[in-house]
Amino acid sequence: MNIAFITDPLDEFKLEKDSTYAMMREAARRGHELHVLRQDDLAWQRNAVIGRASRLHLAGEAGAWYRLDAAVDTPLERFDAVLMRKDPPFDMEYVYSTYLLEIAENRGAKVFNRPRAIRDFNEKMAIARFAQFTAATLVTRREDLLRGFLAEHGDIILKPLDGMGGSSVFRVRNGDPNVSVIIETLTALGSRSIMAQRYLPAISDGDKRVLVIGGEPVPFCLARIPQPGETRGNLAAGGTGVARPLTPRDREIGETLGPQLREAGLLLVGLDVIGENLTEVNVTSPTCFQEISRQSGFDVAAMFLNTLENSI
């Protein structure tokens, strides 16, 4: 297969943990031809979506780990698969890219994850589709509702709807002297909706990343355990990742959501689970392949490539 990866700059990859690199390495091992381009390499021209793509050759992990051929403008439908692996933030440029990718899809390109599904599944709001698995949650820009939610639960998490890596996530308790300024800052004085969730003490045992590939949960998750005194388990916020077998509840969530996610065109999804509660549905560029594989012995990249090959 000819596979095109839409990525962040290759020089920014952290090879020891980058999931896109794990996909590339496994695809190259299987003899697939790799191409790479950036979000700003996409264009709509003469009724086709083209990508200024370079053939990618992998080398050793020490020193220069890749070599690129000269970039060539290529209609995306000429690739066997196009993998959207650009990291958030999910800003308007990201949205415009999904529009372009959807045009390419209509011309025959096979894009994973499906562009419309990426737009439809906001990574915070998507849990509303599966409320049977969530803790008490509120989405609003209204200060009175947020204060009422805090009064009801006593200990809550406030976070923006477009954040990533645990950025701008606040734990707020009754009596917190900073509650007003936190609400004002996150809602931009009532002009921006945010999410409030009941605080889950099970975070101390890890914020679990459950990967779902082609509708099937990977049998191991990565529990991201917060540093002492920290409420965020995100690896970007200093959390420690520990691979564990799925619990019965993890598997129930993954197996229930899996067919619906697959039907929507989401080949790869990262579910965030704290205790027994679903907290996020990550669809843009889910990670944790390498951490799970190293610690569990289960080859996540191989499962992903098997599923991709069977989807073409």
> Tens digit of pLDDT for each residue in 19-75?
999 999 999 999 999 999 999 999 999 999 999 999 999 997 666 899 999 999 999
pLDDT of the residue at 62: 62
What is the identity of the amino acid at 158? L
Q: For residue 232, what are the contacts with CB-CB under 8 A and spacing of at least 6?
A: 166, 169, 207, 226, 238, 239
pLDDT of the residue at 53: 98
Contact 219, 298 (CB under 8 A): yes
Mean pLDDT of 153-165: 91
pLDDT of the residue at 168: 87
**134 pLDDT more than 80:** yes
Domains recognised in the chain with CATH numbers: 2-113 (3.40.50.20), 136-199 (3.30.1490.20), 202-311 (3.30.470.20)
**234 pLDDT more than 80:** no
d(CA 276, CA 210): 12
pLDDT tens digits for 73-114?
Answer: 999 999 999 999 999 888 999 999 999 999 999 999 999 999
d(CA 285, CA 269): 8
pLDDT of the residue at 88: 87
- Lowest mean pLDDT across 117-126, 237-246, 255-264: 237-246
**211 pLDDT more than 90:** yes
pLDDT tens digits for 268-309?
Answer: 999 999 999 999 999 999 999 999 999 999 999 999 999 999
Residues acting as catalytic residues: 124, 159, 209, 224, 232, 272, 280, 282
